[in-house]
Amino acid sequence: MDTTLIAQYVLAGLVIGVIYCVMAVGITFIYSVMKMINWAMGEFYMIGGYLQYLLITLWLGPSRWYLALPLAVLGAGLLGMLIQRVLLRPMFVGQVERLDEYATIVTISLTVLFRNLAIVLFGPYQFSPRDYAPAVMLGPLPLNGSRLVALLGAIVLLGVFAVGTRWTWFGRALRAAAQNRLGALSAGINLPWVDTLAFGIGVGLAGAAGALLAPVFLVFPESGALSTVKGFEIIVIGGLGSLPGSIVGGLLLGLVESLGSVFFSPSFRDVYGFGLLLLILALRPAGLWGEQTREA
C-alpha cells in the first residue's frame, strides 16, 4: 500500500473527524447542562447548511463566504434559543427538574417538522455553494480548499468554545449548572436563562458543522439524518456528558471511516463507525471518558 495514499486518507479522516467533533460537542454540551438529549441536532446541522448556501448565493456572494459562516451559526443559535424558550422551558418543575419524556417528544417532533419544511421550501434537491478556496498542498498531500476551510473553521470554533466556557462569567455559570443544577440554583444562577444559552450554543455548533460542510457534502432535506447518527455514535464512544470524550471520539470515528475505506471498501464506510462503537462498548461500557455513576 502506498504510504502517501495512506497519509492522504489519514489527513482526510482527521479533517472530517474535527468537523464531527463540533457536532458532538454541541450534543454533549446540551446534555451536560440541561440533562436532556436533543434529537433534532441533525436538523440544525441541515439548517446551518441551508443558511450558508442562501447567504452566499443570494446575499453576500461567493467572495464573502467568510461572513456567511458566523451569520449561519448565529441564525441557528438564535432559532435554538427561541425554541428552547417557547417549547422546552415551560416543562420545568420547580426550575430544577425537567419532564424528560416530553422534551424528547418535542425534539423528535422538531426533526419531522424541519425536515418536511425543508422539502416544502426547497424541494428534494441538493444544493452546494462554490468551493471556498483552491486546493492546497500540505507537504506532498493535496487538500481540497473547502475541506481546509472547514478544518480551520472547526478548530477556531472549538477554541472559542473552550475559552468561552473556561474564562468567562457565563461560561462558569454553564459549567456550574453542568456539575450540579441544584447547587447552581442555590448560588443564585438563573437556570432558565442558562438553559436557553446552552441550547443556543449547542445547536449553533451543529449549525456551524452544517455550514462548514455545505460545499463538501451538499445541502438537502435529509442531510441531517446521518449527521445525527454520527453525533450520537461519537458521544457514546467518548462517554455521555464528556466534552474531551466527544473530541477524541470524533477524531477516532473520522480516522476509522477513512482508513476502513482504503483498506476494505468505501461502500461500508458507515459500518466501520458502528464497529468501533460496539468495540468500545464491549471494552468500556460507559465510553472512553464516561461516568460510571451520576449523583442525583
pLDDT of residue 293: 46
pLDDT of residue 134: 76
Closest CA to 50 of 27, 19, 71: 71
Question: Per the structure block, which three cell numbers stand in for 76?
Answer: 441557528
Q: Do 272 and 257 form a contact (C-beta atoms < 8 A)? A: yes
Question: Per the structure block, which three cell numbers stand in for 4?
Answer: 502517501
pLDDT tens, position by position, 15-33: 888 888 999 999 999 988 8
Write down how long the chain is.
Answer: 296
3 state SS of 127: strand
Q: Do 62 and 146 form a contact (C-beta atoms < 8 A)? A: no
pLDDT of residue 79: 96
What number does CATH give the domain 3-283?
Answer: 1.10.3470
CA angle 6, 149, 239 (to 5 degrees): 70
Binned average pLDDT, 10 residues per bin, the chain of 296 residues: 78 87 91 87 94 90 85 95 90 57 86 94 88 74 82 92 90 88 85 91 94 88 87 87 86 90 82 89 83 48
Distance CA 135, CA 157 (A): 22
This prediction's pTM: 0.89
pLDDT of residue 95: 47
